[in-house]
Every structure is written in structure tokens, then in C-alpha cells.
Chain A
Amino acid sequence: MVDDGEEPLSEQQSIRFLLGELSEEERLAFEERLLVDGELFERVRAEERELLDAWARGELSPAEARRLETHYLASPAGRDKLGFARALQTLEARERRAQQRSARILRFPRRPIERLALAAGLAAAVIGLGWLLRLAAPGPGPAPVVASVQLSAISVRGADGPQIVEVPAAAERVELVVDLEGVLAEGPFDVEVRDDEGTVIRRVVRVAAVEVEWGRTLSVELAAEILPGGEYELRLRPSSGEVVAVRFALRRR
């Protein structure tokens, strides 16, 4: 960018400025231009954020990363900017992982033709759907058929509606598995399942969170008959910390 006939400033010069690599004389000249030129000032501020994001993603060389950290950790405002860049990167990484997990977890089919195929499969052989249903521990009679559904504790994108899950009609028990991504409290949790009128239909105390490959989950199992279909709320109450409320809409097929 050219300003009043002066040499255009390259992105590289801005980065050297932000990393504190300019000589004092170069730096003062650069600062004087920033004070006068509003457009240049905004451009350098935008480049600063790009540099911080590159640092948060580990894209800087070790020497550049060290220089940036030394420079930014020296002031409260710098520490806040570094912390924000790291938090934004962490948020993005977790969302990406959550999306990959959702793609792996079975989602009940939405298209009619697929639902028909599923119903035919269920009618044909329950055991053949072992990746959807699991058998509880053997007891004196036939093992109950359990449907496992996945819920997420926190939605980032601000979705206002409940999470939608489907359970086959043949299921006798329903296991609610909650991904605790974003939940700070360690647990154990007192768990309540409430219907859409707020009535508690099941309470389980001191449910521990379980470490899995990608994070932590919490599970409660209920008789399917107490979840006939409709909207529900799952409340997770830790011994200290915020209560987490997870709304879901359950459909029986």
C-alpha cells in the first residue's frame, strides 16, 4: 500500500514489527506511519490477529513463536490476545472433532425409504443390528433390548431447538449417552430426566463421567416405557458448578 509517495509496506514488514524484530529507528518510523494512516493501522491490526492465529495453530517457526510469546506475554493486553487466539483455535478443533464423531455415530435415517429399510431389518433380525442395539447382561430371562442414543451437552452454534433422537419401537431400555465436551465440572453428577412439563420422571444420583477416546461421557439407562416420545430435558447437577441442561426430542419408530 502506498501512502503519499512513501514505499509500500509489505506484510513481512508488518510481521517483523509485530514480532519486535525492527530496529528502534525502523520501529519509530513504522509507528509514525501507523499514527497518521488509518487504513494501514487497520491492516496491521488484522495482520496481528492472523499472526496470533498462526501461533495458536503451531504454524510459526520455533524462533518466531518464542519471539511472539516473549513480546505478548509481557503485557496484560498481549496475554489476553494470545489467550483468545488459543481459545478460538481450541474451540474450532473441538467442533471439528465433534462433527467427525457425529458422522461416525449412527443417526437414525430421515428419509422414508431408509426408515422402511430399517424397519424391515428390525423385523428380520434384532441381533443383526448389533452396532445399533446392544444386549444387556444376561439374566434369568431374555436380555432386554437397549437402544443407545448420543446427546451433546453444549451446542456452540447457538441452536435453539432440542436435539432430535430416534429409538426403535422394539427397544425396551434406552441408554442416554451425553458427550460432556465443554462441561467444566468434574462430577459425579445427580441426573434428572424431566418431561416437557418439567416433571421429574427419573432421577439418578452420583453418576460418574467416563473417560473415552475423545473426551468424557456420562450415561443413564431408563426403561423405554417412561420415554414414550416427545420433548424431554436431561439435567446434570454437579456437586459444585453450573447445572447443565440438555433438551432432546425423542421419536419412537
Chain B
Amino acid sequence: MTRASGVPQPRDDPGGFRRLLAILDPDPVRAERKFGEVRQRLVQLLEWRDCPFPEDLADETLERVARRLAEGLEIAADDPFRFFCGVAFRVFKESLRERERRERAVEELGREPAPAPPEPETEERLACLRRCLATLAPDQRELILGYYQGDKTVKIEARRRLATQLGIAAGTLRLRALRLREKLEACVTQCLRERW
């Protein structure tokens, strides 16, 4: 897939892809945002399925959805977004089945699965975490460390205080903490790659 504006586009079927976006939303900007959200969820679902290359498989899934729409698949639902997700999910299941077939074929050939790469030592990872924390603004650093510190009982009270202090709802705080944590996780992963 080629990428433009962060949205993957099948090289051989731009028409189907345009139709796909139009299904998601008549407004192109909102359509791209919704597409990005569905792609992100597919990537995560595939990660949870232990897929080693979830982004590639998610893009492949969405390409196939676009192709089916280009082939004339009719939209038969009041909620186009839900319809799109339904089609994407069916293709997702097909992708899983194909992957399982490929893995079984490899096993039958008697090949050993590739060994997992060596894990960075804890101290290396800790050094990267410290470095990545230092890149955050002080208030972000305080939020992420304050949100995730402590055992269950300590955390409940700490989070309540944090939400009150920031003047936001608990759900909003949870989302902010999650976004910051994901940013840190990506930073640490990148830092470890550079060290190794």
C-alpha cells in the first residue's frame, strides 16, 4: 500500500478505496479519522492474536475490504460505519484462518519456529525509560508517574486526587494516562532498538 496523509491506499484500486472512505463519512477529513481508528483497532486485535506483523496484516485486511467494495458489494445497513466494521471483521477472520493454515504448513515441514530475539536486560530498559520520561513535560511526567504508582488501594485514592487536581473526569484522566503511557512505550521500544 502507498501512504498519503497517513492513510494507506491500494495502488491498484484507488476507486475502491475512495468508495470505502465515502462509506465511512461524507466529510473526507472525518472519513480519514474514522479509517485511522478502525485501522488502529485492527492492529491491536491482531497484536492480541500474537500476530508478528500486525500492521501489515491490518493494511492487507483493509485493502481487501476496499477491493470488495470496488467489486460492487452493496451497503445494506443504516449505519455505514458499523457495516464497514462488519465487512472488515469478516476479512479479519479470513486473514486469521489463512495465517493459521500457513503456520500449520510450516510446522508440518518440520521447521522450528524462529527463536525469539534476546531480551534487553532490565537495566537497559530502565535507562531508556528514564531517558524517555525526561522528554515529557513536567506535568505529564507527574501525571504518568502519579497515575500508575502504588498498589490497588493506593492507586484508587491517588487517581481520585489527581482527577480533582486537574479538574477532569476519571474517564478523561484514564485516557490521558493511557495516551502518555503508549507514547512512553513507543519511546522505550525505539530507544532499545537504537541501543541494540
Contact = CB atoms under 8 A, between A and B. Distances in A.
A57 B150 CA distance: 9
A87 B141 contact: no
Given A36-B82, A38-B37, A80-B185, A91 B129 contact: yes
A76 B52 CA distance: 7
B90 to A, nearest CB: 9
Nearest to B93: A28
B116 A73 contact: yes
A172 to B, nearest CB: 37
Interface stretch (B4-12, B20-28, B42-50, B161-169): B42-50
A22 to B, nearest CB: 11
Give the size range of A's interface with the partner: 35 or more
A121 interface: no
Interface string A84-97: 10111011100000
A158 interface: yes
B45 A31 contact: yes
A75 B151 contact: no
Contacts of A197: none
B30 interface: no
Contact of A182 (B37, B92, B126): B126
Contacts of A36: 81-82, 85
Contacts of B138: 158
A158 B141 contact: yes
Contact of A75 (B47, B88, B130, B181): B47
Nearest to A54: B152
A interface, over-half SS? helix
A3 to B, nearest CB: 11
Contacts, number: 106
A74 interface: yes
Contacts of A156: 130, 133
A45 B44 contact: yes
A46 B133 contact: no
Interface in A1-59: 17-18, 28, 31-32, 34-36, 38, 41-42, 45-46, 49, 53-54, 57, 59
Interface string B107-143: 0000000001101101111111110011000100100
B31 interface: no
Nearest to B178: A46
Given A31-B45, A41-B44, A157-B141, A83 B89 contact: no
Contacts of A90: 122, 126
Contact of A184 (B37, B41, B127, B174): B127
A81 B119 CA distance: 12
A112 to B, nearest CB: 30
Contact of A92 (B81, B128, B149): B149
Candidate in A32, A57, A92 with the most chain B CB atoms within 10 angstroms: A32
A77 interface: yes
Contact of A49 (B52, B129, B181): B181
Contacts of B41: 34-35, 38, 41
Given A31-B92, A76-B117, A158-B141, 15 more contacts: A31-B89, A32-B85, A34-B44, A46-B175, A53-B148, A75-B50, A78-B50, A81-B185, A84-B129, A84-B184, A92-B148, A92-B150, A154-B130, A157-B141, A182-B126
14 contacts: A18-B48, A35-B38, A35-B42, A53-B148, A73-B116, A81-B185, A84-B185, A86-B122, A87-B125, A87-B129, A92-B150, A158-B133, A158-B141, A184-B123
